[in-house]
Structure 1
Amino acid sequence: MRSLIPRPRALAVVLTGAALVFSPVAGGQATAKAPASPVNDCFVPPAGASAKGGHGPDTRDISLAEQKSIEAQTAQLLKAKASRGIAVPKGALAAASVPVYVNVMRDAAGNGDVTDTQISQQIAVLNKTFGGQESSAAANTGFTFTLAGTFRYSNNNWHKDKQSSTYRKQTRKGGKNALNIWLVDFAYLGIATFPWDYARNPGIDGIRVQYTSLPGGTATNYNLGETATHEAGHWFGLYHTFQGGCTSTNDEVSDTPAQSSSTNGCPTGRDSCSLPGLDPIHNYMDYSYDSCYTQFTPGQSTRISNMWTAYRA
């Protein structure tokens, strides 16, 4: 996560309680009643964990050992799918239209609501960024996004991202190929799940996004809608460009130069690593300002294709 002080992209904390009861109403809206006393049920980053602006991370932590295991598992899945004729032809990339379900988690007073126009603009940003339209050096991933539905809920706890495991299981829509976005008000910009975690916990799959980061929102330096792009990148299987620090393995993508730590702002010429290349501050998977972001690389596009084929196709 990023924090709005400044907001980091995410902090992997999820809360749960007894089952919540909600009642959909006309137009996809709903009201909900939540029990008191939620309890912690997931990973809490250690004090001092680094991310955007020096704040906590926006995905669960992946150790080097697990990273290697995930790569091996992905290779096996791709091989198995190829044997069944599901593989993408050599030299080509997977492509799909991703249905997007936007879940607006407002409070009882209506705080946290966003307009239909903002939601449409957010979908447009996803199509622009994943389509490689912000830079001549950007890769077109081949993935497009279509709004499949907007659902509005009025619940004070959900609005603040409390009982998040429970509310996501109650409200998530679609299958493994569907991107669910929950718009909430918390101390961060976003939180994402990885595709390889879908099988063991499909109910929470998706991304949580600070509602003020949508186009036209009030999150200073982060209100162009590219928080959703960053978090969707994780949802597709991309790591941060600073994953693993100054190592050759880094983020498992060869054309994103290694960097020792996340970026804050848009520091042209930043070079935090002795390995070749300047820090990829314009990459959507760093922690730069929205205005600094311009691209996914061809290598990231290939990884997105492989991860989609392995886990979401």
Structure 2
Amino acid sequence: MIMNRAGRAFGKAPFGIWGGLLFTALALAGLVLTGAARPEEPAGGDVRARGSDPVCPPDADASSRTTGGPGLGHNHLSPEEAAELDQQLNEALVTQQAPAKGLRRTVPTIVHVISASDGRGDLSDSTISDQINTMNRGFSGGYGYGVDTGFRFELRAVTRTVSDSWFGDFVGHEAAMKKKLRRGDAGTLNLYTVNLPDGMLGRSTFPQDYTDSPKLDGVVVDYRSVPGGEREKFNLGFTATHETGHWLGLFHTFQNGCEHPGDYVDDTPFEREQAAGCPEGRDTCDQTGRDPVHNFMNYSDDPCMSHFTRGQRERMTEHWAAFRT
């Protein structure tokens, strides 16, 4: 009998492996990829990297991706917090039919643009369209070596709010802002573009958070991380791709470091710590496989990122069936 990283027996349960962050937590991270040619994929896998080490806070530089939520006081999930989220997934799936594989799921998406009175943050309609297209390309495997996850994002509406207080202090006004602006149900992606503090590129809730805090559900990204933005090395739009991966249940690829069960996905090699830049060929753990530095759920620079894996696709599909349908 073959066992996966989470200790489940393949063939006995319809559950795959997923990644996510902590209960009622918000994930902060934003990795992306470019349209440039990708390095050759290492043998034995189609995934490249994880996002952040739950026990190893990111460096305080421009390459950092952080996780956490208002008042939670942490940057990464602990092994116990990740295990709790995984347990919630397993319990939810017990009463579900096996999630259908290979089906396309179109996610209605509302983009909320928060800007200052001097015009900072006021993204154009074309930039918003580019961001949605970037997400669709990433989730369809369009950057090479990755799989088509089956998820697509359809822009349904754009809201625009001019507020110097919201723009200047998003963290302090997050709850009020979301409670006023959020639309739709658990299956509606609300994407907020704001001015985030230095060292923070984005954050996201997990699917498990929705029942207790539906109004806080959604993805937040720094407005300079969108395609063509001002965040050097992080302006291809992949922060939104990374954070939406959390919104669909994925953990960072370096969750739990080299320790079992890693990020709860079998085809993303173990990774001791988050990647910075694009450390091609890095191998930080004794287990088989080089670090997945090209995976959207790592902390690599945007031009280094390129794909999701089959295991991540299954994990996202399971979370959708358990919490977002």
TM-score, with normalisation over the residues of structure 1? 0.81
CA shift in 2, pair 1:63/1:271, >3 Å: same
In structure 2, the partner of 1:296 is 308
* 2:19 paired with 1:9: no
CA distance in 1, matches of 2:103, 2:83: 23
CA distance in structure 2 between the partners assigned to 1:12 and 1:65 by the alignment: 15
Separation (CA, whole Å) in 1 of partners of 2:67 and 2:294: 22
Instruction: Give the 5 Å matches for 1:222-233.
Output: 222-233=234-245
Q: List aligned pairs for 1:70-149, cutoff 5 A.
A: 70-82=85-97, 87-89=98-100, 92-93=101-102, 95-135=104-144, 137-149=145-157
What is the deviation of 1:272? 1.4
Q: Deviations over 1:257-286 (max 9, x none)?
A: 011110000111111112211110000000
| Mapped partners of 1:88, 1:258: distance in 2 | 26
Which of residues 245, 251, 254 is equivalent to 2:257? 245
Q: Does the CA contact (< 8 Å) of 1:98 and 1:179 recur in 2?
A: yes
Tell me which amino acid in the other structure corresponds to 1:184: V
Q: Does 1:65 align with 2:75?
A: no
Distance 1:118 1:103 in 2: 13
Query: Contact 2:248 / 2:320 at 8 angstroms: preserved in 1?
Result: yes
1:93 shift after superposition: 4.3
Counterpart-to-counterpart distance in 2, 1:192 and 1:255: 23
User: Which has more radius of gyration?
Assistant: 1
Cα deviations across residues 54-101 of structure 1 (Å, max 9, x unaligned)? xxx4xxx4332333333232222222122xxxx434xx2453100111
For 1:270 and 1:200, locate their aligned partners in 2 and report how far apart those are by CA, in whole Å.
40
Looking at structure 1, the residues matched to 60 and 80 of structure 2 have their Cα atoms a distance apart, in angstroms, of 32
Contact 1:121 1:215 survives alignment (8 Å): yes
> Quick check: 1:266–1:288 contact (8 Å CA) kept in 2?
yes
Say whether the 8 Å CA contact 2:63–2:299 is kept in structure 1.
no
User: Mind listing any 5+ residue stretches in structure 1 that lack a counterpart?
Assistant: 15-41, 46-56
1:1-313 → structure 2 map (5 Å cutoff): 1=28, 5-6=61-62, 8-14=64-70, 42-45=71-74, 57=75, 61-82=76-97, 87-89=98-100, 92-93=101-102, 95-135=104-144, 137-160=145-168, 161=170, 162-186=172-196, 187=198, 188-313=200-325
Q: For residues 248 and 110 of structure 2, what CA distance do their matches in structure 1 show?
A: 16
Partner in structure 1 of residue 8 of structure 2: none
Classify 1:171/1:4 alpha carbon distance in 2 versus 1 (closer, same or farther; 3 Å): farther
Deviation at 1:195, TM superposition (A): 0.5
Describe the superposition over 1:203-242 as per-residue Cα deviations: whole angstroms up to 9, x where unpaired: 1111110001111111111111000000000000000000
Q: Distance in 2 between matches of 1:74 and 1:11?
A: 20
Contact 1:169–1:203 at 8 Å: present in 2 too? Answer: yes
Counterpart code for 2:152? T
Higher strand share: 1
Q: CA deviation at 1:5?
A: 4.1
C-alpha contact (below 8 Å) 1:94/1:305 kept by paired residues: no
Q: Which runs of 5+ in 2 are unaligned?
A: 1-27, 30-58
CA distance in 2, matches of 1:308, 1:9: 24
More deviation in 180-189 or 236-245?
180-189
C-alpha separation between the residues in 1 aligned to 2:136 and 2:190? 16
Q: Which residue of 1 aligns with 2:50?
A: none
Q: Does the CA contact (< 8 Å) of 2:224 and 2:235 recur in 1?
A: yes
Tell me how large the CA RMSD over aligned residues is. 1.7
The alpha carbon displacement at 1:117 in A equals: 0.6
Cα separation, 1, equivalents of 2:78 and 2:230: 35
Contact 1:168 1:203 in 2 (8 A): yes
User: How many residue pairs align between the two structures?
Assistant: 265
User: What SS does the corresponding residue of 1:8 show, helix, strand or coil?
Assistant: coil
Task: Give the number of the structure with larger relative contact order, counting CA–CA contacts within 8 Å between residues 6 or more apart.
Answer: 2
